[in-house]
């Protein structure tokens, strides 16, 4: 199925090297793989193996030191920073372990934030916010503030915020890392449902249990990415 689906992201021998005093850290080495539309991918690996580095590159939050990244077949390096920011805002949704919600804003206002990225919100803003909140089953908490919610509810709001621009791809870096097992399972079910609805999903986890629920696994070890088979 995935072989025929259009390509969303492709990495071609991508490396990321960080300077560390008078030495360097090769956080990612020679990573080559393709993500197709509709895929659900789990990224596995121990702490410090390069998972977040990889996610930042996939979401254009950082640039590679070597190799090439293509988004929808176009090399990311040759498009302007402004276009990159636009693709990031409109086509890529990012979910973090720490939720990163603004505590003074209501749930609704937090979810609305990405809509105003280019100045004024779109005409269908209300409908988009309502759809995103309904998808994560948080409509009934729209006027609450993050401090009044459980960890699982906060993460659902963060997922709604990542979805409000109806991105092509959803990237989640250890989204269940701060949640208890039961809540983590519920968030995982939500990702599976979003994938079933057609969203391309990449989730970082160090739980083989969670990764086992995804059709494809990528293992990261010492900066090297290998195709999975964890099941």
Ligand X SMILES: Nc1ncnc2c1ncn2[C@@H]1O[C@H](COP(=O)(O)OP(=O)(O)O)[C@@H](O)[C@H]1O
Residues in touch with ligand X (CB under 6 A): 18, 20, 25, 27, 45, 47-53
CA distance to 41, 153, 163, per residue, from 51 (Å): 13, 25, 22
Residue 13 gets the label, from left (phi > 0), alpha (psi -120 to 50) or beta, of left
- Name the residue nearer to ligand X (CB basis): 4 or 20: 20
Task: Give the span between the Cα atoms of 155 and 163, in whole angstroms.
Answer: 12
Nearest approach, Cβ of 103 to ligand X (angstroms)?
Answer: 25
- Name the residue nearer to ligand X (CB basis): 55 or 129: 55
- Could you say which of Mg ion, ligand X, none residue 117 binds, taking C-beta under 5 to 8 angstroms by partner kind? none
Nearest approach, Cβ of 137 to ligand X (angstroms)?
Answer: 29
- Name the residue nearer to ligand X (CB basis): 190 or 218: 218
**3-state secondary structure at position 230:** coil
- Could you say which of Mg ion, ligand X, none residue 42 binds, taking C-beta under 5 to 8 angstroms by partner kind? none
Q: Are 211 and 37 in contact (CB under 8 A)?
A: no
- Binding residues for Mg ion, per CB under 5 A? 51-52
Nearest approach, Cβ of 82 to Mg ion (angstroms)?
Answer: 28
Task: Give the span between the Cα atoms of 94 and 212, in whole angstroms.
Answer: 22
Q: Which residues pair with 11 in a beta bridge?
A: 33, 69
Nearest approach, Cβ of 52 to Mg ion (angstroms)?
Answer: 3
- Could you say which of ligand X, Mg ion, none residue 47 binds, taking C-beta under 5 to 8 angstroms by partner kind? ligand X
Nearest approach, Cβ of 100 to ligand X (angstroms)?
Answer: 16
Pairing of strands 216-221, 224-227: antiparallel
- Could you say which of ligand X, Mg ion, none residue 1 binds, taking C-beta under 5 to 8 angstroms by partner kind? none
- Name the residue nearer to Mg ion (CB basis): 51 or 219: 51
Task: Give the span between the Cα atoms of 70 and 199, in whole angstroms.
Answer: 19
């Amino acid at each position: 199925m995935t072989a025929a689906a259009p390509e969303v992201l492709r990495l071609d021998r991508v490396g990321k090297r960080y300077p560390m005093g008078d030495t360097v850290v090769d956080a990612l080495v020679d990573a080559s793989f393709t993500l197709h539309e509709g895929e659900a991918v789990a990224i596995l690996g121990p702490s410090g193996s390069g998972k977040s580095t990889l996610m930042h590159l996939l979401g254009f939050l950082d640039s590679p030191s070597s190799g090439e990244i293509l988004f929808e077949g176009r090399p990311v390096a040759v498009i302007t920073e402004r276009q990159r920011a636009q693709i990031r805002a409109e086509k890529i949704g990012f979910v973090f372990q720490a939720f990163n919600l603004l505590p003074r804003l209501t749930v609704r206002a937090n979810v609305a934030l990405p809509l105003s990225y280019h100045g004024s919100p779109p005409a269908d803003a209300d409908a988009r916010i309502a759809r995103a909140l309904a998808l994560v089953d948080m409509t009934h908490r729209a006027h609450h503030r993050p401090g009044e919610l459980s960890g699982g509810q906060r993460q659902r709001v963060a997922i709604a915020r990542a979805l409000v621009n109806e991105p092509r791809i959803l990237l989640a870096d250890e989204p269940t890392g701060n949640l208890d097992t039961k809540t983590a399972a519920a968030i995982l079910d939500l990702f599976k449902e979003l994938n079933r609805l057609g969203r391309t999903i990449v989730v970082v986890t160090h739980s083989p249990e969670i990764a086992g629920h995804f059709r494809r696994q990528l293992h990261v070890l010492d900066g090297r990415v290998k195709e999975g088979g964890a099941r």
